[in-house]
Amino acid sequence: MQRSRREFVTTSLAGVAGLYAAGGITASQPPQLAPEDGYRLWLRFEPLGERGAAYRKLIQQVVVHGSSPTADVIRRELTAALDGLLGSPAPAAQTSVSAPAVVVGTPKDSTILRELRLDAELATLGPEGFIIRTARTGKHPIIAIASQADVGALYGTYHWLRLLQTAAPIDTLNIAERPKVQIRMLNHWDNMDGTIERGYAGRSLWQWKDLPGTIDPRYVDYARANASIGINATAINSVNANAIVFTPEYLAKVAALATMWRPYGLRVYLSANFASPIRIGGLKTADPLDPGVIAWWKAKADEIYKLIPDFGGFLVKANSEGQPGPKDYKRNHAEGANCLADAVAPHGGNVIWRAFIYDEDVDPDRAKRAYIEFTKLDGQFRPNVLVQVKNGAIDFMPREPFHPLFGALKQTPVLAEVQATQEYLGQGRHLVYLGTMWEEFLRADTYAKGKGSTVGKAIEGQVHPYRVTGFVSVLNPGLDRNWCGHHFSQSNWYASGRLAWNPELAARQIADEWTRMTFGNDPKTVDTIRDVMMQSREIFVNYTMPLGLHHLIGGNHYAPMPENAKAPRADWTATYYHQASTDGIGFDRTMKGNQAVGQYFPPVRDMFDSLATCPEEFLLWFHRCGWDYKTKSGETLWNALCTKYQNGARQAAEIEATWQSLAGRIDPQRHKEVADRLAIQVADAAKWRDQILQYFQGFSKRPILSK
């Protein structure tokens, strides 16, 4: 970490020198803000000015108790962060208090914290929870950051640093936090050859050729970023898994990563190729009921746990999009999952089985298939199997109704899978903050057990009492200097961690925090950026797929392609979904249509089923309407579509202008890099508007309303 901080400084200076050399700035007019490349994410720890001086009075000493590697991380992180934030060297970490101090650790390791008698309260918060409280020891005021375990103290430290970074008052603190979800996970779709499936920020972070001998400092910064938002699990290889990762050579490399990340509370999972016993094991079959296969997985799990004692388990995409799976042997998904689950169970591991499965023989509608398969299997999975369900039933569309499996599985823990990587949301080029999308999803009411059975509560295990709970975000950062391609895509990494910790957090609060940490506390900057972020997803929906339209794309999942009618499968086309004709447009999933609405609990089913109550944002998802159907605004459907697309393209241009108004308030490098991508976004939004409206006009035969 020390090394990386130096690296940050060097880069900033090099950036300034570069600008001078390019003649952008004259030596007599030094830039107000040094260029930044975004590498530091939200952990910038820039000086807080006057606010920093005020904080300093309360933080004259830093006392970190404990001798574990995690306590060392806390010590290093706190000292480096306070150095930066307070604008002068922070006091060295010590073990006793003789002035106002921040005191961090566990009561077990700290007499000072023991004196505060926090044990009973800490016990209710668990090893990852923490208390941050202002108190006194002897004559001196202290800020106590305490947990039952070092990892909770680390999370508490980052929480407290966030208060400083966001310029919050810290003189009277009484905070008690515990994560509402147990497995807070990232899924990387990294291939073993260094490419990333649906990655938009360069090649894979994992340097397989150099591991385990060479440790890129970036691995440590990755772990810091995750710990700072409470992420505690990561599956590092693509779900379209290459079995090579299970060979001894690669397991040694994975173990090196796991060892480095352990002090940060980050556990490694691996995506498993179901046919591994054949591909690397020399067996003739991968039938999950075959004794040889069962023995193979058991031996493989034993081998992995020898190297990685806290290995999380396997993540599996089976019988989906060409991947092998139990159905290849006429076994069902429970039989497949249970075979792997039995192998990791003696070690306390989990199997996370993805529900992203859509076999054509199950039902003609892709949106209905996973529900049909998995509800049949509820109760048949081993206790250490979790089913991972994407937020919607198709595939990370700009807007989808929540997947009907949420709330529907009573005995099988369901993890939510969201996608931060923006595959269908402008990839690395469009500014789209997804906090609002996930808030909409998490707050949707499934009515599984009556009103208030929201998706968030379901994944917290409060609707059905799940043995273990989880929230997963597909995140594909790469070697691009700013990790995510677009500076604003970092906010989706941040938001997915914060929502995994607490699915009930507000998207607006998360946007506010992230903005302050990433761009500073200048009020105009904060208000402007937060507001842009809050609108950005709806704007994207408006210019791409409004009113419940979905999948209007081709193979790259980026550009408009409503005419896409030819693909190896019908459900990979666009026409399958929009079904436009001269009569109208939309997919009839009502009870009179294909009855997909019937997969929701009755009040939700009825709400979606009736045109009078179906929220208009899902109109064409559930209903097929004529072009002259009267929408709630009074416009015809055709005119309402025109309005949405016109508005979306105009709003994208407004974001660009708003961003320009922040010139000088944001460092020149990030300002320009975002501006460059906004120019692409504005042009793309106009393309979406024009191509989609022209295409549908071919069916509606009505004039395009221009605004």
**For binding to ligand GCU (CB under 6 A), which residues are involved?**
197-198, 239-240, 317, 321, 356, 395, 423, 557
C-alpha angle 503/504/510, rounded to 5°? 85
Mapping DSSP onto H, E and C, the string for 611-623 reads CCCCCHHHHHHHC
Q: Reply yes or no on whether 395 is catalytic.
A: yes
Nearest Cα to Cα of residue 462 among 181, 691, 199: 181
Query: Looking up tokens 């339209």, which residue turns up?
Result: 549
Q: Could you tell me the smallest distance in angstroms from the CB atom of residue 395 to ligand GCU?
A: 5
Exposed/middle/buried for 591, CB within 10 Å: 0-12, 13-18, 19+?
A: middle
Asked if residue 411 lies in contact with residue 606, where contact means CB atoms within 8 angstroms, the answer is no
CB closer to ligand GCU, 314 vs 519: 314
Between the CA atoms of 261, 262, 265 and 266, what dihedral angle is there, to the nearest 10 degrees? 50
Asked if residue 470 lies in contact with residue 181, where contact means CB atoms within 8 angstroms, the answer is yes
Q: Reply yes or no on whether 321 is catalytic.
A: yes
Q: Could you tell me the smallest distance in angstroms from the CB atom of residue 403 to ligand GCU?
A: 13
Return the exposure string of 295-318: e unless at least 16 CB atoms fall within 10 Å of the residue's CB, then b. ebbbebbeebbeebebbbbbbbbb
Q: Could you tell me the smallest distance in angstroms from the CB atom of residue 242 to ligand GCU?
A: 13
Question: In angstroms, what CA-CA distances link 157 with 105, 132, 137, 574?
Answer: 9, 9, 19, 48
Query: What count of other Cβ atoms lies within 10 Å of the Cβ of residue 210?
Result: 12
Query: How many residues would you count in the chain?
Result: 707
Q: Reply yes or no on whether 115 is catalytic.
A: no
Distance CA 378, CA 550 (A): 29
Among 193, 249, 303, 321, the one annotated catalytic: 321
Among 36, 128, 423, 440, the one annotated catalytic: 423
Exposed/middle/buried for 169, CB within 10 Å: 0-12, 13-18, 19+?
A: exposed
E-assigned strand segments in 45-177: 61-64, 93-94, 101-105, 130-137, 140-146, 174-177
- Which residues partner with 105 through β-bridges? 146
Distance CA 251, CA 255 (A): 6
Q: Could you tell me the smallest distance in angstroms from the CB atom of residue 239 to ligand GCU?
A: 5
CB closer to ligand GCU, 148 vs 319: 319
Cis status of the peptide bond prior to 703, with omega within 30 of 0: no
CB closer to ligand GCU, 335 vs 395: 395
| DSSP SS3 for 277 | helix
Asked if residue 83 lies in contact with residue 90, where contact means CB atoms within 8 angstroms, the answer is yes
Among 128, 363, 395, 538, the one annotated catalytic: 395
CB closer to ligand GCU, 228 vs 419: 419
Q: Could you tell me the smallest distance in angstroms from the CB atom of residue 354 to ligand GCU?
A: 7
CB closer to ligand GCU, 203 vs 557: 557
CB closer to ligand GCU, 148 vs 473: 473
CB closer to ligand GCU, 197 vs 310: 197
Q: Could you tell me the smallest distance in angstroms from the CB atom of residue 417 to ligand GCU?
A: 8
CA pseudo-torsion sign 607, 613, 616, 622: positive
CB closer to ligand GCU, 559 vs 679: 559
Q: Could you tell me the smallest distance in angstroms from the CB atom of residue 197 to ligand GCU?
A: 5
| DSSP 8-state symbol, 14 | H
| DSSP 8-state symbol, 361 | T
CB closer to ligand GCU, 419 vs 669: 419
Q: Could you tell me the smallest distance in angstroms from the CB atom of residue 240 to ligand GCU?
A: 5
Q: Could you tell me the smallest distance in angstroms from the CB atom of residue 357 to ligand GCU?
A: 9
As annotated, the active-site residues are: 321, 395, 423
